Amino acid sequence: MGESGAFPHLNPVGEVHMVSVTSKDDTVRRAKAEGRVLAPAAVVESVRQGVAKKGDVLAVARVAGIMAAKRTAEWIPLCHPIALTGISITIEMEDSGFVVTAETETRASTGVEMEAMTAVSAALLTLYDMLKAQHRGLVLTGIHLVAKTGGKTGDYFYAE
């Protein structure tokens, strides 16, 4: 619970503010998130064979995810800037599209869930941008937290 009761981002008079994490201990914190781009098999195959019109779309999407994770506090208004100690982006190809997974870690007083989900979002958007010339009907879906460890609230693992 926050200063105003149930909503930690509201102060006692109901105004939005950034929560103070000054009194929280620095601990190792990790998060994993994933999401999907649904695409026709022909689009996936063009990436698999390395003939997508815009080049190595997977490498560009991975870099976009890493860059976004590092800048999450600039995207999400009430997120604390965090010094990330690790970011990993993987992209798996399936017949129906691509699965993007981001894993983030730090030693800090607040978690890295938003960084992992921001990384996934940016990588998915980059895949869309680089593949839209082949098919405008790509669908971004299922962005969610898979797991988080560390911190006061303990561990979380997504259960489908």
Active site residues: 129
Q: How far apart are CA 92 and CA 136, in angstroms?
A: 21
Distances (CA, A) of 126 to 36, 62, 95, 112, 157: 12, 9, 19, 21, 27
Beta bridge partners of 16: 10
* Closest C-alpha to 102, from 83, 87, 84, 86: 87
Rg (CA), the chain: 18
